[in-house]
Amino acid sequence: MASSTPRPSQRRWPRAPFGTGATTFTRPGSYRPVIPAAVLALSVALAGCAGTAGGVRPADAAPGTTQARPPQTSADPGAATTSAPARLPGLGPRTLAQIPADARQAVLVTGRGKNSSASQVVLYRRTGAGWEAGATWPAHNALKGWTDDHHAGDLRSPIGVFTLTDAGGLLADPGTKLPYDQGPAFTIGGTGFEGEPLAGSFDYVVAINYNRKPGTSPLDWTRPQGANKGGGIWLHVDHGGPTQGCVSLTKKHMRELLRALDPAQHPVIVMGDAASLRR
């Protein structure tokens, strides 16, 4: 597996062999030790990123393969549009208060219901006139829906606003501006809740900064709130069924998202079921 190509402004720090190959994480002036294979195995077992066979997907779950509508554009990509709302739509005061003032990109994940695994994702950017909507994509979240108090193994996705700072995957960097950790440690096998193969689910991932240390590889096992509060909550490639806690998009849409996210815009993800987000 070829290592990712560093951007000109970055250094690539070698990491010790992991599994059958080596993985690298690029970030100027930083270095972290490799995560032992046994710890990674535990992290995959507890992470919200992949379903296990035996679960039943709710009847209203989205297939995760619908073509997204084209992003909204204007003659001047940086120009404000009069139709852009001043606030992100569908959010109540409690949710809006959690969005950092410097956030200029927001991935809004709206679940169909508190106990549903079907979601819709809209990528927003803040302009001079307000928040401008881009592409809209179907997505999956956890098998049992959403929760305000996520714990490891509860099969629910955490509700809240979280920053997005780090990416990675089994495949080479598709052109993201986020630091990207590429290598064979992102390999996954087995089957999901409906018996669908999980292979390829971690081809591209973006770490959601829920109970993790920002500025590290998505594989980092640090859990500031403790292991019981779960972790390993990612945006990753959809495998055709519910997740254990992550949000999944088609591979095409994950590539588009990775290319759009810009750390200079302080991107965040706002995620939860529609009723909870309106609070």
Over the stretch 96-155, which tens digit does the pLDDT of each residue have? Answer: 999 999 999 999 999 999 999 999 999 999 999 899 999 899 999 999 999 999 999 999
Give which of 48, 22, 50, 49 is closest to 35, Cα–Cα.
22
Is residue 93 exposed (0-12), middle (13-18) or buried (19+ Cβ within 10 Å)?
Answer: exposed
**What pLDDT was estimated at residue 73?**
37
pTM of the shown model:
0.75
Cα–Cα dist 279/267, whole Å:
22
**What pLDDT was estimated at residue 46?**
38
Q: pLDDT over 70 for what percent of the chain? A: 70
Q: How many helices (H) and strands (E) does the chain have?
A: 4, 14
Maximum Cα interatomic distance, the chain, rounded to a whole number of Å: 53
Give which of 202, 134, 104, 207 is closest to 164, Cα–Cα.
207
Asked whether residue 17 carries a pLDDT value surpassing 80, the answer given is no
**What pLDDT was estimated at residue 86?**
87
Give mean pLDDT, residues 66-93. 59
pLDDT band at 8 (very low <50, low <70, confident <90, very high): very low
- Residues with Cβ within 8 Å of 177's Cβ and at least 6 positions away in sequence, in order, are 7, 261, 262, 263, 264
Asked whether residue 23 carries a pLDDT value surpassing 60, the answer given is no
Give which of 204, 164, 202 is closest to 44, Cα–Cα.
202
Question: Which amino acid type is present at position 155?
Answer: L
Half-sphere exposure of residue 94: CA atoms within 13 angstroms, side-chain side:
9
Question: Which carries the bigger pLDDT value, residue 268 or residue 28?
Answer: 268
pLDDT band at 45 (very low <50, low <70, confident <90, very high): very low
Is residue 91 exposed (0-12), middle (13-18) or buried (19+ Cβ within 10 Å)?
Answer: buried
**What pLDDT was estimated at residue 83?**
67
